[in-house]
Amino acid sequence: MSPPPSNRFPAPALDTLPDDIRTRLLAVQEKSGFVPNVFLTLAYRPDEFRAFFAYHDALMEKNGGLTKAEREMIVVATSAANQCQYCVIAHGAILRIRAKNPVIADQVAVNYRKADITPRQKAMLDFAMKVSADAQRVSEEDFAALAPHGFNDDDIWDIAAISAFFALSNRLANFTGMRPNEEFYLMGRLPKK
């Protein structure tokens, strides 16, 4: 089965976007050298773009008990389970950079249980996967399994919220046929020169 045609939901021209969205896209382009396709695709609906990225930033850019690399691990593992090519590739690149590890994203995407991660991170991903695929079965036993690894209730909320938010993102990416930018494939794989 082929993905939806990329022209079904065409990205609006940059000069037609509201100022706040155009400014954000230009800032991302300035920092990374390109505009990730998720920004362009979601700009199709400006109000939803704003809401999506406000929640994204609240979850992924905050300080707390989870490192930024661990937050990306959650995205990569759950996105792989949801078969979201865009998020596995894009967030895999971010994970490689944040973890300073060129192989971790591939390991986590294929089978986090065999990845070179800590027992704490494995427990985190076990819980994230349960929230992603079987949330109705989350119980006190799941919270108890996280406690010995030092996760407090706020950390557990973050794990669950990231998993849930990216379930939404995965479905939007799959439904729109969003493709990863080519730049993502090499990011974080080789040391900077």
The closest of 144, 141, 76 to 110, measured between CA atoms, is: 76
Q: Say whether pLDDT at 6 is over 80.
A: no
Per-residue confidence band for 2, with pLDDT thresholds at 50, 70 and 90: very low
Contact 125, 66 (CB under 8 A): no
d(CA 171, CA 152): 29
Judged by DSSP in three states, 34 sits in coil
pLDDT in tens, 159-184: 999 999 999 999 999 999 999 999 99
pLDDT in tens, 74-107: 999 999 999 999 999 999 999 999 999 999 999 9
Q: What is the pLDDT of residue 14?
A: 87
Give me the residue label for tokens 């479905």: 171
Tell me the Ramachandran region of residue 28: left when phi exceeds 0, alpha when psi lies from -120 to 50, beta otherwise: alpha
d(CA 112, CA 108): 4
Look up residue 179 and give its two tokens.
């493709």
- Non-local CB neighbours of 37 within 8 Å, separated by 6+ positions: 11, 86, 178, 179, 180, 181
Per-residue confidence band for 190, with pLDDT thresholds at 50, 70 and 90: confident
Contact 124, 73 (CB under 8 A): yes
Contact 60, 68 (CB under 8 A): yes
Torsion of CA 81, 75, 73, 163, to 10 degrees: -80
Contact 180, 91 (CB under 8 A): no
Q: For residue 55, how far is the Cα from the chain centroid?
A: 12
Q: Say whether pLDDT at 40 is over 80.
A: yes
Q: Say whether pLDDT at 72 is over 90.
A: yes
Tell me the Ramachandran region of residue 36: left when phi exceeds 0, alpha when psi lies from -120 to 50, beta otherwise: beta
Give me the residue label for tokens 């010995």: 148
